[in-house]
Structure 1
Amino acid sequence: MAEKKGNLSINSENMFPIIKKWLYSDHDIFYREVISNACDAITKVKKLDSMGDFALPEGYRPRVDVILNDKDKTVKISDNGIGMTAEEVEQYINQVAFSGATDFLEKYKDKDATDQIIGHFGLGFYSTLMVADRVDIDTLSYQEGAHPVHWTCDGSSEYEMEEGQGRTSFGTTITLHLSDDCLEFCNEYKAREVIQKYCSFMPYEIYLSKAQEDRTETVKESEKRDDDIVLEEIKPEKKEADKKPAGEEASSDTKDGEASKKEEEQKEEEKKYKIKRRPELLNEIHPLWMKTPQECTDEEYKEFYRKVFHDYKEPLFWIHLNMDYPFRLKGILYFPKLNIEFESAEGVIKLYNNQVFIADNIKEVIPEYLMLLKGVIDCPDLPLNVSRSALQNDGFVTKISDYISKKVADKLAGLCKTDRENYNKYWEDISPFIKYGCLKDDKFCEKMNDYILFRNLEGDYITLPDALKISDEEKKAETAEGENGEKVEAEVVDEGTEKPDDAENTEQQEDRKESEEKILYYVTDEKQQSQYINLFKEQHMEAYVLKHNIDVPFMQQLESKNEGVKFRRIDADLTAAFTSETSKEKEKEFEESATKIAEMMKKALGKDITVKVQKLKDPKVSSILTVSEESRRMQDMMKLYQLNGMNMGDFGAEGQTLYLNADHPLVQYVMGHLQEEVSGKLCQQLYDLAKLQNAPLSAEEMTAFLARSNELMMLTLPKTE
């Protein structure tokens, strides 16, 4: 077969149904597309005027009018933009995907005509065919001597075009004859909702009105406009001032007389007019994000937040984005005030392109963790797809996302440095954003590492570097306090059998590693863990409140990013700071008692429990239960599997250690009466009391605890004969 070359043929009759049905996912998008085209037309004629190629008439006010006619089932969208000649209608309307915006930009590319041009693909107009059985265009070009053009199409690939009668001034009017299943779009409330969704901040005024408007309004003469349709002039009524007694008038001086005359003049009402209800302005042409931060006041930022997000709780603070290179981006990001205990942390980031709404929460542009914020971002350089509903995959988008993340980190760091008091105040609300951001973005985590705060038991906020310094100081104090005890322990070891060199080296390495660790203690429940908190406070040791679900992975993240940093819950171990020194004889006695009590516990509880008897500095504490940090974290992880029906039971119980205070009377009684039945019950009671400070008892455990409590209290009653 001979080699052959040619052009692909596209059948418009086959193509149109595809465009109508599949180009846009939402039918209401036609409002955005047609109004965007109208704004482009206005931008073009203003650009020509600024370049001297055309002179706009005096008093020209750019505007777009949307006129609803539910009787005729039509929607008219009219502008006073550049208009079109018959040749331009042939080129831009009759040729599918030929963009008038792109053609205009190409023609004036050397004259800085790119600002505010929205369209690119030449397909937006055809969105009208999704909702209309017929579409009419009436247009008149700005060019001198141009004739009006009328164009109509019923949704097929055929059209009719002739000299028009509908326009006498330059601009374009598009009339949609709605199909029966789309009549909702000529309803005033629906039209307002859709237009304000997509076009609230378009650069030219958009007015909504009804063709059969029978509603009226009354305006003062000073408020009357040239384009008002006056129905009736309301004559003013002159009200006479209250008459004063003759004697008083005679005694009034000239000044009083002038005041009286002025008062009478003020009582004369201003002339009023009854007019046909004015078209309703639907948009704000100068949105706050288009201004520079220096031009905006705090009250304007707050009002904009209330208006756009319908949230009447004031935002904590905001970030105003303003960038021109290497891409154009403007916007405002708000940090909302959240009650993360009771509210789902869901924000809204609205994405705009040249002040045209594109979508909410586009993940390619907005880093995932910033979806908790509320804000608007306007980027004219976004690589949109044909329907302007999503982004093309583009490395450029990643740069935008990185820039936004960097600006947020810079703002937070600056706030911590320059306004620490407010940063502390905001922390509980902004910490979910920051912690989630650290988990999702390594660069963000690196920038924020020194500005992460921890709330201590006194309610003060400490940065991570300061918390690590405090940990070092506490370790030095604990080492100094326990030096004598360490020497005694060393002597006991020396008396025993010598250990192999390898074992000794391993122990030394472990000891060295542990001594280099910077341990930060944390609290997850200030009420339940109150006993441990009291111990820490009495010894002037720091612990930090980390009680939210996100804190578990966040701690692991900090440990992995900061060498030597370890987090331990305050009930994970019993440090030397909480115990008193004992003699070697007492230590041996305590070990023997602990072994016997552990056996007693195993029989009563049905599981192995490590028991240690030590002297605690707080004589009021009878027992303390600790769970190793490794075991607890494993339990937290395994909770996820319990959701899938896995029963983990008492998984992690091997990490539990029960400490009994040798100075407490109950413990002393148990050690002195190990063979008595009541001692077994007291051991169980001591375990449950300690566990209550660690975690809730199960239903079975609570039932047994209450019954046992009653039994033990009965023993205190005097015996009756």
Structure 2
Amino acid sequence: METHHFQADAQQILKLVTHSIYSDKEVFLRELLSNASDALDKARFLSMQNEDLRGVDEPSIRVSLDEENHTITIEDDGVGMTREEVIENLGTIAQSGTKSFSEKLNNAESIESLIGQFGVGFYSAFMVAEKVVVESLSMQNDAAPIIWESEGGASFSLSEGSKEERGTRITLHINKDDAENFCNDYQIKQIIKKHSEFIQWPIVMEEERINQEKALWLRNPSDITEEEYNTFYKHITRNWDEPLCTIHVKGEGISEYNAILFIPKKHSFQLDNTGAGYKVDLKLYQKRIKVLDHANDLLPQWLRFVSGVVDSSDIQLNVSRELLQKTPIVKAIQRKLISKILSKLEDLAKEQPEEYIAFWNDMGHILKEGLHDSTPKQEKALFNLFRCRTTKSNGELRTLPEIKEDRQEGQEEIWFLTDLDKDRIGSRPILEGFKKRELEVMLLSDPVDEFVMMYKNQYDEVPFKSVAHGDLPEDEENETDEEKSDRAKANMLIDWLGDLLDDKVSEVRVSNRLTNSPSVLVSQEGALSANMEAILRAHNQDLPDTKRVLEINPSHPMVKTLARLNSDGKTELDTFAHLLFDHASIADGKLEDPTGFAERLQALMEKAATNL
């Protein structure tokens, strides 16, 4: 037996690999199976070049356990290693034979880039093993079997082996603390299925094949049945429903990748409570080895309802293959996936409108998030997918092109109203004037709508305008003489009401919006809406107290009576004035002084009772 020392910095690197690089111990099996798969890939290629090399009839990867002696063995029929290759590949940390092999063959069209680019995966075995024994026989005919042993210290030993078939056998002597978790048939099978299910070579335990025969995403889409897609969807999502849409992508060009994406029929409630720590259900594979459960950098948060897999050997990861490196290739793949998803949804909206409406009602609020975080091309598609109810749609959903097309002659904007209460939004007093003039208003009741309208102030060069901000121009052409007279009389109340309610409102003005209600509260142009303030306060945001504008309806009996009494010099009218503000506050969904309101209402009722 010969004793050799690792390179001078090897102990430090080995310690880093064992204790710092990987966040989950179970990935040791993923790394060793990945190496075994790479070795079989190499053997297949070299056999095509030279038929005289050592061969085997049915290449595979075999995993076996010895629970009594606490060992796990992984054996492959791959390329194997000579004595020199063992010293080079296992005696030099971060020296990857796979990488060197891949570089030599970078012009061979039949060989993809192989996974072990960092050369540290093998050493993850020391996370769970107190000793690792490797016996290997190269497929080169003149090579002899060699045994490599190490306890993860400063040295390793070499001795003659007895292996007769080509390939590599790795035996891990598991630490006592880890034996219960990993010297367990069921646990090992679950880890294989979790990380390595789609390795193309058979992974066998006790004569049972554990992994799938071929990754679905590598097959020709025309050869895959809908049932196969649905079965795969249920398998990776643990969802019993069938998907709404399936998207099979084969990317070529600067970056090559394969992907299968699924849009569900119903979204999971967890998607509504993601915050900054959202995790997209998109699994990343490299050469059929799963390396990430949540490839967050490949899909934006606003497509978090999409599930699926992406397989690409071009994407760069950190050393532990647990984090994506944000490279131009990642961005390019992300743009392509987004484009495919949006295009699929546009097709669904055109070809199966009822199914799309069901999707929008369930997941539209998530999709709308993309309108403040998208490219111009994506924004155009998102606006095409946008649906909403309006004051003219009788509860049905309309598209933005329809709303734009149906504007009145001379109408330069698209009107909208936001309110979290979808049951009352259509009956808000603030809409009365718009309904009278038959101006269509979009009714938006998702919390995200406020942010969408804040960031996207126009559609196809037509500005969005809130009915709850600013003033509505007078409808002078259709105003009767009586209405003009009422307006003039109501204007005489403005200064008095403004002084009386100075601590509550920023301004009092005669309304052009109201037809039935006596009063309404609106926001100043450019100010936060009451709806936005409510959303921000619900998220514990400190906001300055802002006063809103009180508009009064000049034709309402209460306002007309108040104007007449005030003109006649009557006093003790403050109660009426405050009730106008109370009414507007109630209609706005926020009564700040319910006790005061009750007292004022009681006083008014008593006065009315004495006059009966």
The TM-score bracket by the shorter chain reads 0.7 to 0.9
SS at match of 1:631: coil
Aligned to 2:579: 685
On the 8 A contact 2:413/2:463 being kept in 1, the answer is yes
Aligned to 1:74: 71
Task: Give the Cα separation in 1 of the matches to 2:67 and 2:599.
Answer: 76
Note if 1:582 corresponds to 2:472.
no
On the 8 A contact 2:281/2:294 being kept in 1, the answer is yes
Task: Give the Cα separation in 2 of the matches to 1:157 and 1:322.
Answer: 46
Larger mean CA deviation between 30-39 and 311-320 belongs to 311-320
Aligned to 1:522: 417
On the 8 A contact 2:418/2:445 being kept in 1, the answer is yes
Distance 1:535 1:173, change over 3 A: same
Task: Give the Cα separation in 2 of the matches to 1:163 and 1:340.
Answer: 59
Give the alignment of 1:273-422 within 5 angstroms: 279=208, 281-336=209-264, 337-338=266-267, 343-344=272-273, 346=278, 347-392=280-325, 394-422=327-355
Task: Give the Cα separation in 2 of the matches to 1:341 and 1:551.
Answer: 20
Aligned to 1:118: 115
Gaps of 5+ in 2: 1-6
Note if 1:648 corresponds to 2:544.
yes
Aligned to 2:182: 185
Task: Give the Cα separation in 1 of the matches to 2:486 and 2:296.
Answer: 65
On the 8 A contact 1:519/1:565 being kept in 2, the answer is yes
Deviation of 1:74 (Å) = 1.1
Note if 1:91 corresponds to 2:27.
no
Letter in 2 for 1:338: H
Give the alignment of 1:157-168 within 5 angstroms: 157-165=154-162, 167-168=163-164
On the 8 A contact 2:487/2:554 being kept in 1, the answer is no
* C-alpha distance after superposition, 1:401-420 (max 9, x if no partner): 33333333433344444444
Letter in 2 for 1:295: D
Give the alignment of 1:352-501 within 5 angstroms: 352-392=285-325, 394-448=327-381, 450-457=383-390, 458-471=394-407, 473=408, 475-476=409-410
RMSD value over aligned CA atoms? 3.7
Task: Give the Cα separation in 2 of the matches to 1:626 and 1:598.
Answer: 18
Letter in 2 for 1:671: A
Distance 1:106 1:630, change over 3 A: closer
Task: Give the Cα separation in 1 of the matches to 2:432 and 2:492.
Answer: 28
Task: Give the Cα separation in 2 of the matches to 1:680 and 1:341.
Answer: 51
Aligned to 1:226: none
Note if 1:135 corresponds to 2:132.
yes
On the 8 A contact 2:414/2:441 being kept in 1, the answer is no
* C-alpha distance after superposition, 1:553-610 (max 9, x if no partner): 2123322675441221367645556996133x86356434443365257436744564
Note if 1:671 corresponds to 2:563.
yes
Deviation of 1:427 (Å) = 2.1
Give the alignment of 1:500-649 within 5 angstroms: 517-524=412-419, 525-529=421-425, 530-532=427-429, 533=431, 536-537=434-435, 539-559=437-457, 562-569=460-467, 573-574=471-472, 576=474, 581-583=479-481, 587=484, 590-596=487-493, 599-600=496-497, 602-603=499-500, 606-608=503-505, 610-612=507-509, 618=515, 620-633=516-529, 636=532, 640=536, 646=542, 648-649=544-545
On the 8 A contact 1:138/1:150 being kept in 2, the answer is yes
Distance 1:117 1:586, change over 3 A: closer
Letter in 1 for 2:552: Y
Task: Give the Cα separation in 1 of the matches to 2:32 and 2:441.
Answer: 61
Deviation of 1:384 (Å) = 3.1
Letter in 1 for 2:272: E
Aligned to 2:43: 45
Distance 1:571 1:555, change over 3 A: closer
- Which of 195, 198, 202 is residue 199 of structure 2 equivalent to? 202
On the 8 A contact 2:93/2:120 being kept in 1, the answer is yes
Distance 1:341 1:539, change over 3 A: farther
On the 8 A contact 1:323/1:330 being kept in 2, the answer is yes
Aligned residues: 592
Deviation of 1:37 (Å) = 0.9
Q: TM-score, normalised by structure 1?
A: 0.72
Larger mean CA deviation between 400-409 and 599-608 belongs to 599-608
Task: Give the Cα separation in 1 of the matches to 2:248 and 2:295.
Answer: 19
SS at match of 1:81: coil
On the 8 A contact 1:535/1:578 being kept in 2, the answer is no
Aligned to 2:551: 658
Task: Give the Cα separation in 1 of the matches to 2:570 and 2:205.
Answer: 91
- Which of 172, 177, 180 is residue 176 of structure 1 equivalent to? 172
Higher RCO structure (Cα 8 Å, ≥6 apart): 2
* C-alpha distance after superposition, 1:411-452 (max 9, x if no partner): 334444444443333223443454332322224444426514
Task: Give the Cα separation in 2 of the matches to 1:89 and 1:600.
Answer: 92
Give the alignment of 1:706-721 within 5 angstroms: 706-717=598-609
What is the percentage of aligned positions where both structures have the same residue?
A: 27
